[in-house]
Amino acid sequence: MIGATILLVFVLAALLAPYISPYDPVTQNTDLRLQGPSWAHLFGTDNFGRDVFSRVIWGLRVDLQIAILGVVFPFIIGTLVGTVAGFFGGLVDAILMRLIDVILAFPFLVLVLSIIAILGPGLTSFYIAMALVGWVSYARLIRAQVLVLKNSDYAVAAVSLGFSRARIMFRHLLPNAVAGSVVFSMSDAVIVLLNGAAISYLGLGVQPPIAEWGIMVAEGQPFITTAWWITLFPGLSIVVLAFGFSLFGDALGDVLGVKE
């Protein structure tokens, strides 16, 4: 409930960003540099005199997009691969599983960074990198479920009734196997969000002057002792959004009947 509320508020804020943010997020105003939080500037201003509150709201748009797109593509790829591997087994399974082992052998961030480095910095590269690397966890989760479910009586019944393989896989096994992955995707969204922020912090993701929480944290770093508000509020926003996803994932698990 709390998770859903947090997410709902964030999504609304992102949609309504042009209306609720008091200032333009990129317009610089050197007269207002590094002002602390006040009624005029709730979260203060940064070293270019931009309103931090407005930048946090506009950044939300970007970060929500990162969390969602960074999960959706791996989810789709992983679900398909996992279902196929689990259902067919044998050689197909062996090949796909070894591929997963190879990907897992590299540290996650290193792999993502190298792909982005090859493709060039930017959000598109980030999504491609996430899709190429992130699907492995989903594939493993789904495969394990499908392995169990394909021996259930209703799957056997489907075979004995002459249903096609595609029908059994996608109509009978997948809907029952997917619940665990849906829940996992929520905690994955948190990780992706943090990765997105980290990548932007390293200068490989979103490019300035666009407002994004990771960049904002990075930009505020030199002033952390004198103007703490520049880093604190975007950082705090990341935490709250992550918390929202996490709680929502738990609640989703209860609704979908996933056993802990």
Give residues in contact with other proteins (CB under 8 A).
Answer: 152-154, 156-164, 167, 171-172, 175-176
Instruction: Compare residues 133 and 183 and give the one whose CB is closer to other proteins.
Output: 183
Coil, strand or helix at 51: strand
DSSP 111-126: HHHHHHHHH-SSHHHH
Half-sphere exposure of 209 (CA within 13 A, CB side): 12
**Cα R_g (the chain), whole angstroms:** 22
CB of 248 to other proteins, least distance (A): 21
Residue pair 180/138 in contact by the 8 Å Cβ criterion: no
Instruction: Compare residues 55 and 172 and give the one whose CB is closer to other proteins.
Output: 172
Instruction: Compare residues 149 and 216 and give the one whose CB is closer to other proteins.
Output: 149
CB of 258 to other proteins, least distance (A): 13
Residue pair 67/244 in contact by the 8 Å Cβ criterion: no
CB of 154 to other proteins, least distance (A): 5
- Closest by CA to 61, choosing from 90, 112, 21, is 21
Instruction: Compare residues 153 and 260 and give the one whose CB is closer to other proteins.
Output: 153
CB of 105 to other proteins, least distance (A): 22
- Closest by CA to 136, choosing from 198, 180, 65, 80, is 80
CB of 250 to other proteins, least distance (A): 20
Instruction: Compare residues 11 and 147 and give the one whose CB is closer to other proteins.
Output: 147
